[in-house]
Chain A
Amino acid sequence: EECFHAKDEL
Chain B
Amino acid sequence: MNIFRLAGDMTHLMSVLVLLLKIHTIKSCAGKSYPCSLCFILLESSSGISLKTQELYALVFATRYLDIFTDFISVYNTIMKLIFLGSSFSIVWYIRRHKIVRRSYDKDQDTFRHFFLVLPCLLLALIINEKFTFKEVLWTFSLYLEAVAILPQLILLQRTRNIDNLTGQYVFLLGAYRALYILNWIYRYFTEPHYVHWITWISGLVQTLLYADFFYYYFSSLKNNVKLKLPA
Using a CB–CB distance below 8 Å, which chain A residues touch chain B? 2-10
Q: Name A's interface SS.
A: helix
A8, B73: Cβ atoms closer than 8 Å: yes
Contact partner of B77 (CB less than 8 A), chosen from A3, A6, A10, is A10
Nearest CB on A from B207, distance (A): 14
| Bound-complex Cα distance A10 to B9 (A) | 8
* A9 CA to B182 CA, complexed, in Å: 12
CB neighbors of A among B183-201 (8 A):
184, 192, 194-195, 197, 200
State the CA gap A7–B130 with chains docked (Å).
12
B56 to chain A, nearest CB (A): 17
Nearest-neighbour CB distance to chain B for A8, whole angstroms, equals 5
From B199, which residue of chain A is reached at the shortest CB distance?
Answer: A6
Q: CA separation between A7 and B181, bound complex, in Å?
A: 14
Contact of A10 among B80, B194, B197 (CB under 8 A): B80
Cβ of B12 within 8 Å of any chain A Cβ, yes or no, is yes
Q: Which 3 A-B pairs have the closest CB atoms?
A: A8-B73, A10-B80, A10-B9
Q: How far is the CB of A10 from chain B (nearest CB, A)?
A: 5
Please provide the chain B residues from 29 to 46 with a CB less than 8 Å away from any CB of chain A in the complex: none
Apart from A4-B73, A9-B200, 20 more pairs, CB < 8 Å: A2-B194, A3-B131, A4-B71, A5-B195, A6-B197, A6-B200, A7-B67, A7-B73, A7-B139, A8-B73, A8-B77, A9-B5, A9-B181, A10-B9, A10-B12, A10-B64, A10-B77, A10-B80, A10-B81, A10-B84
